[in-house]
Amino acid sequence: MSPLAQSSACVTTAILAGGAASRLGGRDKGLLSLLGRPLIAWILEALALEPEQPRLIVANRNLDQYARFAPTISDQHREVFAGPLAGVAAALGVCETEWLYTVPVDCVRPRGEILQALCAAPMSAKIDAVVAHDGSRRQPLFALYRSSLAASAAKAVAAGSGVLRWQNSLNLHEVDLSGLKDAWWNLNTAEDLVLFAGRLKPDG
């Protein structure tokens, strides 16, 4: 068993909520209402983090509203929506644990098995990051990073890199999570919100 799997308290969970949400008219996705509750509340409930497990929200606007749910920071490129890697870099820059786990804000019910599987992956001193693979493609925003990657991530953002390209430059281990067929539902449009609300209702 990976030593990390025995000590989840050494992982900070960061929810990446700094996107422009262009397909939702630019509305702040994490604060959109789903069955009367903002998406960020659904995510934190699904993560079911223990009190000793640090959590963090990376957002580029409405920081005061997000701060009601968890400690909140913004990235250094908040005015231009530089993409999720800017959020990852910001979270790594303040991470006080050995590892950082990232989750996208538009995956409203992130399965706990994802973090469990990433933490249980074989770890060596050479591994920089562990990332989920859904059986068809990598899910780059569900990833576990060493906090020592902060400078590397910041440099990649400055160079205009994206998450996938930066991950490809790391000593990366992919974990096959093809068995979690319903774990990757992203809410990107108003229609997605309606459909997912129907799934969450008792008679949905």
| Residue 64 domain flag | yes
* pLDDT tens per residue across span 33-62: 888 889 999 899 989 888 888 999 999 889
| Residue 176 domain flag | no
pLDDT of residue 204: 44
Range of the domain at 26: 9-112+140-161+183-198
| Residue 94 domain flag | yes
| Residue 20 domain flag | yes
| Residue 4 domain flag | no
Max CA separation in the chain (angstroms): 49
Q: What is the pTM of this model?
A: 0.88
Please give the tally of structural domains in the chain. Answer: 1
Read off the CATH number of the domain in which 107 is found: 3.90.550.10
| Residue 172 domain flag | no
Question: Where do we find the tokens 């129907």?
Answer: 198
Instruction: Show the tokens assigned to 3.
Output: 């030593």
DSSP string spanning 111-160?
-HHHHHHHHHS---TT--EEEEE-SSSEEEEEEEEEGGGHHHHHHHHHTT
The tens place of each residue's pLDDT in the chain, 204 residues long, gives 454 554 556 899 999 996 655 455 566 888 988 888 899 998 999 898 888 889 999 998 899 999 999 999 997 665 545 689 999 999 999 999 999 999 999 888 888 899 999 999 988 888 999 999 999 999 999 999 999 999 999 999 999 999 999 999 999 999 999 998 777 877 766 676 666 666 666 554
Euclidean distance between CA atoms 204 and 200, whole angstroms: 6
CB 83 within 8 A of CB 75: no
